[in-house]
Structure 1
Amino acid sequence: MAYSLPSPTRSDLEFSTSELSGALGDSVTVLPLLVALAATTTVSLPHVLVGFGVFQIVWGLYYGLPLSVEPMKALIGLAIVGSLSYAELAAAGLLAGVVLLGVGSLGFVGRLQRVVGEPVIRGVQLAVALLLFEAAVDLSVGAPGVAAAGLAVVGALALAGYRQSSVLVVLALGGVAAVLAAGVPTPRVPAAELFPAGPPTLSAAAIEGTVAQLGMTVGNAAIATALLCGDLYDRDISADRLSQSMGVTCLAAIPFGGVPMCHGSGGLAGKYAFGARTAGANVLLGLGYVALALVATGALLAAFPVALLGVLLVVVAIELGRAAFDPISAADTRALCLVVGVGIVGLAANVGVAFVLGAVAFWLLSRYA
């Protein structure tokens, strides 16, 4: 099959308060992960934010709906906890981009999902959630009082019915604390250069991380997102075409300092739940990311309270862990055992090993059980 990106079929654009609030629905997990990544690796946060801003706008306008653009959570999570350096993360993202572009062009996405098995993919999600929770504890132990205050804010907002927005509130409080400590930053345009944080390095860890990430991406960012486009927006966008656009995103963004990005059913559902109905939400969010990139300085990032960063990661870990179990029936003990098993092996060993062992176990159970 020849490579081709989908043609836009609608050009609906609306700029309203509902589109603005909907745009925030896609940033609930994006910003905490990006701030945590920048605080724990050599990545350039301004370049990363520009990448997200550009591709929010590009894919929103191209598909004609508020499609999500999110970090590849398995790879980003592994980088945050130190299992991947930024150089390895960049290499993994480029490799993932090549694979996604290829399998999408050949129509293999649906077949890959059936081979791997949903419980294995959900197990990878659980493993990353556990790793993020472990990192959150490490970040919080140095200032337990600050961490407790952050958790209290999250809990109070959740009880008041603002659970989704609580992460952004804690992030804003941390930003205010950083500004008070480091001063108001002078806006600065990120330099346009290739690999501003260093060249990519392909390693065994990068390959293992890519394999694990592709399992999540095929299931959540391609297949589940394609189904949700039809359910929420009455749009027929195939999983293979979403795979192609994710491949293009990674290959275009990473050389200029970006990180591995994908679409995602969670971000799309978040946008819809908060009121987004057109690509206007993507344009507003994209411009917001670019504006934030102008003031995201190293000094400001260094002054961000790491204990609050731990709180943010706890919330993200809980959401990711919940998503791992949501589609699995409580009566399906075999699937639940696979999810938990892959998650525990991923925490104890590494996500790549957990993914491979889980795929083998799923195949054996499907064939002989």
Structure 2
Amino acid sequence: MAHSFRSGRENELELSTSELTGALGDSVTVLPLLVALAATTSISLPHVLVGFGVFQIVWGLYYGMPLSVEPMKALVGLAIVGSLSYPELAAAGLLAGIVLLVVGQFGLVGHLQRIVGEPVIRGVQLAVALLLLEAAIGLSVDAPLVAVGGFAVVAAFALVGYRQSSVLVVLALGGVAAVATAGIPTPSVPDLAAFPAGTPAFTLGALEGTVAQLGMTIGNAAIATALLCGDLYNRDVSADSLSKSMGVTCLAAVPIGGVPMCHGSGGLAGKHAFGARTGGANVLLGIGYLALALVAAGALLAAFPVALLGVLLVVVAFELGRAAFEPVSDGRALAVVVGVGVLGLAVNVGVAFVVGAVAFWLVARAD
């Protein structure tokens, strides 16, 4: 049974079974990253979930379509692997929010994407994927049998055509194990406070992470998402408009304990593939995140099997790495992608981004 009403945008806002299943398409990468981030840093998971719940609903209502709201994967990935502390992550989120708001306001998104070059952006994606894979090995090594069991679940679901849904099943199994260990948590409302997990630290690491993230955000979360809005939903949404909404999201969410968030072409495509056609998917998913925030107790998180977190990170790393290679069509671009990815793993993602951008500019100039 479906209920729908006009949201003031071009599309109806529908609350139906297909919108509910479509909402799952945006959570298959969000929840694993958030749980892993909460297990490896000082963030407050309830506050983070509140941020996601609020902005899923806000942008679903505003755009009238199932726009994705995801963590900024480069920044969150760097925090998970220990390259950024939470205060540095918060600072990077604020910096990214300011830049996205400014470039969107002045219509500069397309210009920045052309300067950086898509192979460099894809190389940053590969670097983050490799770092997540390295972290996954570290999380899984102490309980190899649990990790093998988790991979068996992923493989089984992949064989029957539900590879993306497998991460939600692994999350559910880990949640059951955590409840069995720590007990059912008492629902509680997260405290209202400014920067509840730590004051932002504007360090060189935060600046490097911001620079690396902006390359991915401009290419994937703004430009590619704007194209998909037209391809999948016949909506004319500009990359600059998406940039501004991401800037607002970061500047509003980070001070209340959230993490840097962006839109994303993968999440938008995932929602569409799972059946979402209106902003109702965002409303339903946002309500789900807010409900989960009430029971996301620290004790429950501490009891979550870390080896299963490793399995989840492997799946996320695979998806991110696959996306980095999919659009590469020639050998020179492939060399840039691999070079930036390996340099990011071996040295630093920010350094790799700058080196890759300079190399891309020199090659383009030579042509």
Aligned residue type for 1:73: K
> Partner residue of 2:323?
323
CA contact (8 A) 1:26 1:268 kept: yes
Extract structure 1 runs of 4+ deviating beyond 3 A.
Answer: none
Describe how 1:150-299 pairs up with structure 2 within 5 A: 150-299=150-299
User: Offset of 1:289 from its aligned partner?
Assistant: 0.2
Identity between Structure 1 and Structure 2 (%): 80
Instruction: Give the Cα–Cα distance (whole angstroms) in 2 for the partners of residues 233 and 206 of structure 1.
Output: 36
CA contact (8 A) 1:65 1:279 kept: yes
RMSD of aligned alpha carbons: 0.9
> Partner residue of 1:68?
68
CA contact (8 A) 1:81 1:131 kept: yes
User: Offset of 1:9 from its aligned partner?
Assistant: 2.8
User: Offset of 1:185 from its aligned partner?
Assistant: 0.5
CA contact (8 A) 1:11 1:61 kept: no
CA-to-partner distance for each residue in 1:20-69, whole Å, 9 max, x for gaps? 00000000000000000000000000000000000000000000100000
Aligned residue type for 2:112: L
CA-to-partner distance for each residue in 1:267-324, whole Å, 9 max, x for gaps? 0000000000011100000000000000000000000000000000000000000000
Count the aligned residue pairs: 361
Aligned residue type for 1:235: R
> Partner residue of 1:366?
364
> Partner residue of 2:334?
336
> Partner residue of 1:355?
353
CA-to-partner distance for each residue in 1:317-364, whole Å, 9 max, x for gaps? 0000000001111xx000000000000000000000000000000001
Instruction: Give the Cα–Cα distance (whole angstroms) in 1 for the partners of residues 349 and 8 of structure 2.
Output: 37
Instruction: Give the Cα–Cα distance (whole angstroms) in 2 for the partners of residues 298 and 41 of structure 1.
Output: 12
Describe how 1:86-165 pairs up with structure 2 within 5 A: 86-165=86-165
Structure 2 residue ranges without an equivalent (≥5)? 1-6
Instruction: Give the Cα–Cα distance (whole angstroms) in 2 for the partners of residues 8 and 181 of structure 1.
Output: 47
Q: Secondary structure in 2 aligned to 1:14? A: strand
Inter-CA distance 8–355: structure 2 relative to 1 (3 Å threshold)? farther
Q: Secondary structure in 1 aligned to 2:172? A: helix
2:16 is the alignment partner of 1:16: yes
Structure 1 residue ranges without an equivalent (≥5)? 1-6
> Partner residue of 2:302?
302
> Partner residue of 2:311?
311
Describe how 1:28-39 pairs up with structure 2 within 5 A: 28-39=28-39
Instruction: Give the Cα–Cα distance (whole angstroms) in 2 for the partners of residues 8 and 316 of structure 1.
Output: 36
Instruction: Give the Cα–Cα distance (whole angstroms) in 2 for the partners of residues 210 and 162 of structure 1.
Output: 34
User: Offset of 1:11 from its aligned partner?
Assistant: 5.3
TM-score (norm 2): 0.98
Aligned residue type for 1:78: L
Aligned residue type for 2:357: A
> Partner residue of 2:4?
none
User: Offset of 1:8 from its aligned partner?
Assistant: 5.8
Aligned residue type for 2:216: M
Inter-CA distance 263–8: structure 2 relative to 1 (3 Å threshold)? farther
Instruction: Give the Cα–Cα distance (whole angstroms) in 2 for the partners of residues 62 and 275 of structure 1.
Output: 20
Instruction: Give the Cα–Cα distance (whole angstroms) in 1 for the partners of residues 301 and 123 of structure 2.
Output: 32
Q: Secondary structure in 1 aligned to 2:12? A: coil
User: Offset of 1:10 from its aligned partner?
Assistant: 2.6
Instruction: Give the Cα–Cα distance (whole angstroms) in 1 for the partners of residues 343 and 93 of structure 2.
Output: 23
